[in-house]
Amino acid sequence: MIRHLSQSHEVTVASLAFTQEELDAGAGLREHCSEIIAEILPNSTRWPQAVMALPGSTPSSVAYFRSNKLRARIEAAWQKKKFDAVMVHCAFVAQYTLGLSGGLRILDYGDMDSAKWMDYAEHRRFPLSLGYAIESRKLRRYERAMAERFDRITITTQGEKEEFKTLGVPRPCTVIPNGVDGNFFQPAAMGGGTKPNIVFLGRMDYFPNIDGVLWFVREVYPSIRRAMPTAELQIVGADPAREILRLRSIEGVTVTGFVKDVRPYLTEAAVAIAPLRIARGTQNKILECMAAGIPVVSTSQAAKGIQAVPGEHIIVADGPQESSHSILELLNDRDRRIKLATAARAQVEHAHSWPESMKILDSVLAEGFSAAASEEIATPQRTRA
């Protein structure tokens, strides 16, 4: 998105980083930006801020992303450059624009996090269930208040758009599907590797991923190993939680932790899984595997944000027996894997390509500037965003 915007606009990026290493990893953005405004906000600061917000009306997830240093730098840049537009990615950081006036304002929710927290509440035991429910209600009020302060809203799926409508805020809302870099995720061999390897991609400190993987290992993987003792599971993702690290003691299970490049693991895999029981928006992990030519077996919850036909582009399976049967069927039938993977690759090129999504973004900007022009605000030829 930043690379695309930089072709027609002068772009300044403002962001937080967890560590210096993460900050350094984003240095490549500089070739697409006139300026990068970034501050490190470590977990040692984030979590105390989130905890201190618990008794108040501010959502803890908003306090978690609060940096006075970043706010001051953004305000200084705003005064200096007089930006024509601001686009905020996720409601949590909309807080950084509240004191800024003027310009087209676009809020990209991605997906509605208040609904996700309520999903968490339904899947956690007391007292965590109560904490998530309270956070969901606080965040919903915040999402509504932020929507009222922006001119236009973007979202990743039609389902999330319907969720946004329940806020009751009359703002134009546009679906911009998540894309995948088809050049980066090129199939090494359509249908995946020849060994019966199963792969899962995703950050392993993220609760829906933790919950889904633990469920899969406990409820699905044993029956796969009984039927196919050579089958192996590779869990690929950064910062694995302790309960995920303990899975290394299970025969055939590999937990990699952070890897610089996930593609070698996709090359070795015959099947990719997305066994999430809690999922909102679009699961990029599914798109990446589809683009890489790896057949995907997903729960219906994880697949609902993907523009794909079950049985044609992706296998949807819920429950232990249905999941293990679907995976074993693919592991035993390479022709079926190739057919499914070929169709999946074509589908992401059609429905989840970044160029197509960026055309929608361009239309949102054009409509926004046109509306501003109708109010006698000049539309610049080259904007600062």
> What's the pLDDT tens digit per position in 271-288?
999 999 988 888 999 999
pLDDT at 104: 92
Phi and psi based region of residue 239 (left: phi greater than 0; alpha: psi -120 to 50; beta: remaining): left
Q: What are the φ/ψ torsions at residue 113 (nearest 5 degrees)? A: -70, -25
pLDDT at 37: 94
Q: What percent of the chain has pLDDT over 90?
A: 72
**Peptide bond preceding 127 in cis form (omega within 30 of 0):** yes
- Cα separation, 187 vs 346, whole angstroms: 12
**Domains 2-179+353-374 and 197-351 are alike in CATH topology:** yes
How confident is the prediction for the chain on average, in pLDDT? 91
Report the DSSP beta bridge partners of residue 296: 272
- Provide mean pLDDT across the span 11-18: 93
Neighbours of 21 (CB within 10 A): 10
**Domain coordinates in residue numbering, the chain:** 2-179+353-374, 197-351
Beta strands in the chain (DSSP E): 12-17, 35-40, 85-89, 104-110, 152-155, 173-175, 197-201, 232-236, 253-257, 271-274, 296-298, 315-316
Cα four-point dihedral sign 89, 95, 100, 101 = positive
- Provide mean pLDDT across the span 232-257: 96
Residues 207-235 pLDDT 10s: 899 999 999 999 999 999 999 999 999 99
- Provide mean pLDDT across the span 327-352: 95
- Provide mean pLDDT across the span 181-190: 90
Strand order in 152-155's β-sheet?
85-89, 104-110, 152-155, 173-175
Q: For domain 197-351, is the CATH number 3.40.50.2000?
A: yes
- Cα separation, 235 vs 271, whole angstroms: 12
- Cα separation, 255 vs 201, whole angstroms: 11
Q: What are the φ/ψ torsions at residue 193 (nearest 5 degrees)? A: -75, 175
pLDDT at 110: 86
First vs last C-alpha separation in the chain: 12
Taking the CA atoms of the chain, what radius of gyration do you get in angstroms? 22
pLDDT at 385: 60
Q: What is the CATH number of domain 2-179+353-374?
A: 3.40.50.2000
- Provide mean pLDDT across the span 29-51: 93
Residue among 297, 351, 302, 289 nearest 327 (CA): 297
Token duo for residue 368: 């926004």
Q: Characterize the bridge pairing of strands 12-17 and 296-298.
A: unpaired
- Cα separation, 44 vs 159, whole angstroms: 35
pLDDT at 100: 86
- Cα separation, 19 vs 24, whole angstroms: 9
In which residue are the tokens 């309270």 written?
134
Token duo for residue 211: 């919950």
- Cα separation, 273 vs 306, whole angstroms: 14
- Provide mean pLDDT across the span 86-110: 91
- Provide mean pLDDT across the span 176-189: 90
Model confidence at 256: pLDDT above 50: yes
Model confidence at 382: pLDDT above 80: no
Model confidence at 95: pLDDT above 50: yes
Q: Are 286 and 298 in contact (CB under 8 A)?
A: yes
| 377: Cα separation from own chain's centroid | 35
